[in-house]
Each structure stands twice: as C-alpha cells, then as structure tokens.
Amino acid sequence: MPEPFHRHFGPLLFLAGLFFCNFVSRIVLGPLLPAIETDLHLSHAIVGSFFLVLSLGYFVSLAGSGFVSARITHRHTITLSAVTVGLALAVLASSRNLITIQTALVLLGLAAGLYLPSGIACITAMVDIRHWGKALAIHELAPNSGFMAAPLIAETLMHWTSWRGVLLVIGAVTALLGLAQARWGKGGRFAGQRPDLTALRHLAAEPLYWRMILLFGLAISSTLGVYTMLPLYLIVERGLDQSWANTLIGLSRISTLIMALASGWVTDRFGAKRTIIGVFLFTGSATLALSLAKGTGLVVAVLIQPMVAVCFFPAGFAVLSNIGSPAARNLAVSMTAPVAFLIGGGLLPAAIGFFGDMGRFSLGIGLAGIMMIFGIAVAFSLKMPDRA
C-alpha cells in the first residue's frame, strides 16, 4: 500500500530547500550587481550579459541532464549539482577579471541545470500519484520564495561582508545540503532516461510547441528577466537607496506566493488560453508602467509587476503536456524550459543592460513590457488540443 502523504513531508521540504538554494544561487547576482559593477569597474551591458552567459550553461545542462542521470542515478545527480554549484560560487567570489567571472558563470549554469529533472523524478517516484499535485506545489514554493528572499539575504549579509562573502555563504550552504542529500536523502536511487531524438524530431514539427517556447520566454522575461536587472535600474536610473531597493523588490514577491497557490484554480476556472491572455495583459501593462513611473507610483509598480506573472506557468505547462504523443509531451516540457530561460533569463537582461549603458534603462524596461503585451496576440493564435 502507498505510504500516507504526511510521511513524505520531510523529504519534500528537504528537496524544496535544495531547489531554493539552487535558485537563489542563480538570481542573487541581481541584488549584487551594483556592488559588483562598482568593485570591478564594469559597464551595465557587461553585467547584464552575466545572465546570458549563465543561461547558456543552464540551457546545455538542463537539456542534457538525462545523459548524466542515466549514468549516476538521480540521487547522485542532485548531489553533484549542489556541490558543483557551491564550487562555482566559490570560483565566482574569487574572480578578479571578466574571463574568470564568465567561466564561473558557465560552470554555475551547468551545475544548476542538473537539478530540476532529477528533483522532479525523485518526487514523482517517491510520492503516490494521487498526491503529486500537493508534492509539486510544495516543491514549487522554492523559486517563488527565492525571488522574495534573495534580495533580503544579499542585503542582510552585505552588512557583514562584501558581495564575494555573500556568494561564499550561499555556495557553502548549497554544497552542505548536497552532501546531506547523499548521506540521508530519500528517493532517486534509479537511473534517468536519455533524451529520445526521434521524439524530439516529432516535437519540432508541432507549431504549437514553437508558440509555447515564445510564450514561456516572455513569461520568464516578466519574472526572472526583469527581476535580475531591477535593482540596477532602481538604483542607477531612479536614484533609490540600495537597501531600500532590495527590500522593496523582496516585498514585491510576497504576493507571488499566494498567487502561485491560486494559479491552478485560475487555470481550471478560466481555461489555459484565457489565463495566458490575462497574464500578459496585466504583466505587460505593469512592466510598461514600471518604466514610466516615479516616486510613489514607482513603488506601486514594483509591487504589482510580478503579482500575476506566476499564474502563467500552470496554464503553460497544461498546454505543453498535451502536445503530441506521450513521449513528446514529456520531452516538450524538458526542451521548452532551457530555450525559454535563454530568452527570458539571458537575452532580456543583456538587452536591458545595453540600454542602460546608453542612459536609457527605462526604455529597455518599457520595451520588455511591450514584448509581453505582444504575447497576447501569440496567445490568441493558440489552437488548443481537444484534450487541453
């Protein structure tokens, strides 16, 4: 008989903790950018490109993680990911030149990308299928709480140390959790499956798949992409104090925890297509307002911009899971995320940094908002499968 769900609560929280550290290790650079930029005398465009370099490593690792887990099992893949993330952050913290920084960022992306497929595989193997929704909801609290916690962690630790020390602390905690997973963690004692190239060719022939890549890229732009460059924008162009800017960004993510839990109900109530249209209408308009607002209006824009964006993902995954054959459906999810992260978490921050060097940070943010509003037209063009 399957074990009761409450017996898995501890292991689920432990995996969520690993996912939290994995996620924070990638996004904490955003709150640290002003300090890194000043310390190393770098331009806005160069520090904005950091996320593109990191996303390239993440893209390769996430897409090819099956080759690693097929050889060393999911359990050891999770440990390898966490320990290597810690190593990459240590290298990044000790970097004194651009080449070393970029090398460390590629390593960080490669290490972080190994976790998610193996983490999901562990959860779905450990928990009975009747409880998958609750288990994955607990796991998915990690990135949403990470958005809220990263600027607060950075700001708190920088009272005691430099940006280098912040990275060392996060790296050490992540590596220790990875070693604890190897010693005491549950589940994952089985090998992963290598990517199926035949299914990949069938997936590439699906027009809906390419539309969803674009929509996922825009959705990640509205969350991760804007988030990574927001501290620099608020401090450099809008003149906010660094402590207040990081605190404000952390507070803005509190609402996303509630909306993440409500987003499944929203998708069930209004349907995936309507939900996606509504998300891009609200989020695009709020991002555009963020580029124009000042004073109190700027504070309000920062607080509401991420609020609805998280509602996209349950709807988006509902569409992806209904594309093509059963083999292609699983592949659709694993192959959409890397490309979308490259677009939203890499190219967009680099573009905003480029506009920042031109003295037009607000223009970069505004164009991002216009792109999200464009997503409404793409969403209207979706032809949903009958079973969606």
**Whole-angstrom distance, CA of residue 265 vs CA of residue 152:** 30
Q: Could you tell me the pTM of the whole model? A: 0.75
Assign 324 to helix, strand or coil.
coil
**pLDDT at residue number 387:** 43
CB burial class (10 A; 0-12, 13-18, 19+) of residue 130?
A: exposed
**pLDDT at residue number 251:** 87
Q: Which residue has the tokens 């209207």?
A: 380
**Whole-angstrom distance, CA of residue 277 vs CA of residue 176:** 42
**pLDDT at residue number 185:** 72
Helices 44-93 and 163-184, interaxial angle, to 10°? 50
Name the residue among 139, 147, 109 with its Cα closest to residue 121.
139
One-letter amino acid at 181 equals Q
- Mean pLDDT (10-residue bins), the chain, 388 residues: 66 89 90 86 81 86 81 88 95 90 93 86 74 69 83 88 93 93 75 69 80 90 85 86 85 81 72 87 92 90 87 76 56 75 84 86 91 91 60
**Whole-angstrom distance, CA of residue 102 vs CA of residue 88:** 11
**Whole-angstrom distance, CA of residue 339 vs CA of residue 60:** 10
**Whole-angstrom distance, CA of residue 77 vs CA of residue 248:** 36
**pLDDT at residue number 366:** 92
**Whole-angstrom distance, CA of residue 167 vs CA of residue 157:** 10
**Whole-angstrom distance, CA of residue 35 vs CA of residue 158:** 10
**pLDDT at residue number 177:** 92
**pLDDT at residue number 214:** 92
- Domain spans of the chain, in order of start: 1-195, 197-388
Would you identify the CATH topology of the domain 197-388? Growth Hormone; Chain: A; (1.20.1250)
**Whole-angstrom distance, CA of residue 132 vs CA of residue 315:** 17
- Quick check: 178 and 112 in contact, CB under 8 A? no
The C-alpha angle 137, 206, 283, rounded to 5 degrees, equals: 45
> Is 1-195 CATH 1.20.1250.20?
yes
**pLDDT at residue number 103:** 92
**pLDDT at residue number 86:** 95
Q: Which residue has the tokens 């839990």?
A: 261
